[in-house]
């Protein structure tokens, strides 16, 4: 399972399969799912640096 990739040029999220920039990033925090587009730069960087785990 792939995660959200980030564009090396602009730093915005891109689809890891097709490379499109037209993606909506969602995050689940304490049971709530929310769109991260309204987050400030610091919070978005924190999301980018999080370690992701695959659950099988």
The per-residue pLDDT for range 28-42, each reduced to its tens digit, is 766 777 788 888 989
What's the whole-model pTM score? 0.42
Residue 29 covered by a domain = yes
Residue 41 covered by a domain = yes
Q: How many domains does the chain have?
A: 1
β-pair partners for 27: 34
Residue 31 covered by a domain = yes
Residue 11 covered by a domain = no
β-pair partners for 6: 13
Determine the Cα–Cα distance for residues 10 and 19; give it in Å rounded to an integer.
13
Average pLDDT over residues 9-29: 80
Average pLDDT taken over every residue of the chain: 78
> 39 is in which domain, residue-wise?
25-51
Q: Which residue did the predictor score with more confidence, 42 or 50?
A: 42
Residue 30 covered by a domain = yes
Residue 56 covered by a domain = no
Question: Where do the H-state alpha helices sit in the chain?
Answer: 41-49
pLDDT number for residue 56:
63
pLDDT band at 1 (very low <50, low <70, confident <90, very high): very low
């Amino acid at each position: 399972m792939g995660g959200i990739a980030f564009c090396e040029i602009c730093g915005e999220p891109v689809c890891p399969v097709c490379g499109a920039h037209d993606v909506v990033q969602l995050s689940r925090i304490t049971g709530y799912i929310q769109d991260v587009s309204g987050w400030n730069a610091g919070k978005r960087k924190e999301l980018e640096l999080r370690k992701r785990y695959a659950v099988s």
